[in-house]
Amino acid sequence: MYVDEVGNDDLTNVNDERHRYLSLSGAIFNQDYMRDVFVPTIDKLKREFFRGDPDEKVVFHRKDILQKNGPFKILNDVDTCKEFDAELHNLIRNSDYKLITAVIDKKALLTKSHWVKNHPYHWLMEILIEKYCQFLERHNAIGDLMPEKRHGKPDQSLQIAYESVYENGTRFAAADKIKKHITSSKLKFRAKSDNIAGLELCDLVAHPSYIHVRGCQGHTVNLGEFALKVVHALEELRYDRSPYNGIVKGYGWKYFS
C-alpha cells in the first residue's frame, strides 16, 4: 500500500478550514502487477510527453501538474494539456489498484472527551491499517506500507501511530491478525525524488478522494473538471468495497467527526 496525506496534524488552528481536516489515502497494488505492468505504463506515458533533459527525472506530482511547473510547463499548450489529461485519466481509471481514504475532522473530535488524549494520525493510521488488513485477509495475501517521506515530525508522527496500531491492534483487527498480513512494523518511507510509481499514483488521487469524502458528508466542496473525472473513476472502479453488497462507505473511505 502506497500512502499519501492531505493536510497536517496541527491542533492549534482547527478553526481555519485549511487546517481543520487531515486525510490519509492508501493505494493497494499487487507487487507483480506494479513491476510488470504499472511501472512500464507510467514510464511510457512520461516518455511520450516529456522529451526534455534525459537526466531530469519526471515525477508526477499533482501540484506541479496543476501549476505547470518544471517539465510540466509543456502543458501550457492547450492541445497538449488536453491530450495529457486524457492519458492521465486513463492511467488512474484503468490501472489495477484499490484505494482506501480516511478523513478526520480535527475540530469536531477535539470536543469529544474520548479523543483528546490521542493524535489525529493515530485515528487515521488505525483505520487505514485495519481496512488494509481486512483487504489482505479477503485476498489471502500479505503486504506492507510505503508513505512518501516528508522528513522530521510528520514522518515521526506517522511511524509512532503505525507502530502503536501494529503492536496493539484495533477494535476490528487484532494485533496477531495484523502481523500475519502486514509484514513489517516499520513504514517504508520513500522520497518524491525516488520516483516511486505507486506514490505518484497515490499523490494524484489522494486530494480528489479527500474532497469527495467531505462532499459525501454534505460539505460545500469544489471539484474541478479533471478531479471530478478522477472521483467518478474511483467510485466506479477503484475504491475498495464490501464483498457482500458492493458498498464503498466503510471500505473504500471512512470519515471521523
Q: What is the pLDDT of residues 208-228, one digit of tens each?
A: 999 999 999 999 998 999 999
**pTM score:** 0.94
With cut-offs at 50, 70 and 90, classify the pLDDT of residue 110. confident
Cα–Cα distance for residue pair 27/196, rounded to 1 Å:
13
Q: Check residue 8 and give its pLDDT.
A: 84
- Cβ-based neighbours of 210, under 8 Å, separated by 6 or more: 6, 7, 21, 23, 25, 101, 103
What does the alpha-carbon distance between residue 195 and residue 124 come to, in Å, rounded to a whole number? 25
- The pLDDT tens digits for 22-53 are 999 999 999 999 999 999 999 999 999 998 66
Q: Say what the pLDDT of residue 201 is.
A: 97
Q: How many CB atoms lie within 10 A of CB 52?
A: 11
What pLDDT, on a 0 to 100 scale, did the predictor assign at position 53? 63
Q: What's phi and psi for 26, nearest 5 deg?
A: -125, 125
pLDDT at 10 over 90: no
| For residues 198-209, average pLDDT | 97
State pLDDT tens for residues 145-198.
999 998 788 888 889 889 999 999 998 999 999 999 999 999 999 988 899 999
Q: What is the pLDDT of residue 117?
A: 55
Res. 256: pLDDT tops 60: yes
Query: How far apart (Å, rounded) are the C-alpha atoms in residues 99 and 90?
Result: 16
With a cut of 80, say whether residue 6 has pLDDT above it.
yes
Is 102 strand, coil or helix? strand
**pLDDT per position as a tens digit, 45-95:** 999 999 866 667 899 999 999 999 989 999 999 999 999 999 999 999 999
